[in-house]
Amino acid sequence: MIKIIDLKKRFNTRRVLNGLNLEIEQGKITVIIGRSGEGKSVLIKHIIGLLRPDSGQIFLDDMEITSMKEKDFNEVRKRFGMLFQGGALFDSMTVAGNVGFPLKEHTDLSDDDILKIVTEKLRRVGLVNVEEMMPADLSGGMRKRVGLARAIVMDPEIVLFDEPTTGLDPIMSDSVADLVLDTQRVLKTTYILITHDIPFTYKIADKIAMLHEGRIIEQGTVEEMKANQNPIVRQFLEGRAEGPIKVY
């Protein structure tokens, strides 16, 4: 569904993406892993058009999207949903206002029709009777669920997740993994996630891609990556520091 070819991006003198190649399969869950600062969020921003590469191409189906004019890309962007870190909810809006915001902005639906869709999407992520609650009244896990409801409210073909388990305890992270799996199986949507959470990754991924020094250095199924002997992959998956920590 998405094919990324030789993508390069530099910020001043620092090259973040250095000839990155990756294919995202339709209707599957692809998880991109890598250390902090390796460019995972930068890659996501390229896919949804928030950044443009210095060179390289991104194909969505048969369309090359990096060279599109902004007006044309705005139509393409409607095919994407996005779950940001922490949910990125508007504090001044109710849950219903947050989830319904994309519908309000991009459709001519009536308020009653929007509320019906919002209620259904909230139910889909396991939330009922929360429409009038404010974000400040929600737990971390509930905020993630509301964020996901907003990401899927327009029935996008592709949903991107930026560190969906950040700040959650292991039990809540596992609950979010179940939520991701349940919604993806029902909606048959293409999910792309970036995360440091290895147990979460092992539970949900159809495909794992390891980003290192601006390139995808290894990729495969969960079992293939567990068996991968690349020392960089092994170190990351096992959570080992490069050497002993010196104490002064």
**For the chain, what is the largest distance between any 2 Cα atoms, rounded to a whole number of angstroms?**
65
Percent of the chain with pLDDT over 90: 62
pTM of the model: 0.88
CA-wise closest residue to 202 among 170, 230, 243, 231: 170
Query: Taking a C-beta distance cutoff of 8 angstroms, is the pair 29, 87 a contact?
Result: no
pLDDT tens per residue, range 16-54: 999 999 999 999 999 999 988 889 989 999 999 889 999
Helices (H), the chain: 40-47, 70-77, 95-106, 111-124, 140-151, 170-187, 198-204, 222-227, 231-238
Q: Residues 143-187: pLDDT tens digits?
A: 888 998 999 999 899 999 988 888 888 888 898 899 889 889 888
Pick the CATH number of 1-78+191-239 from 3.40.50.300, 3.40.1160.10, 3.30.70.3040, 1.10.10.10: 3.40.50.300
Residue 1, pLDDT > 90, answer no
Nearest Cα to Cα of residue 78 among 193, 159, 192, 5? 159
pLDDT at 243: 55
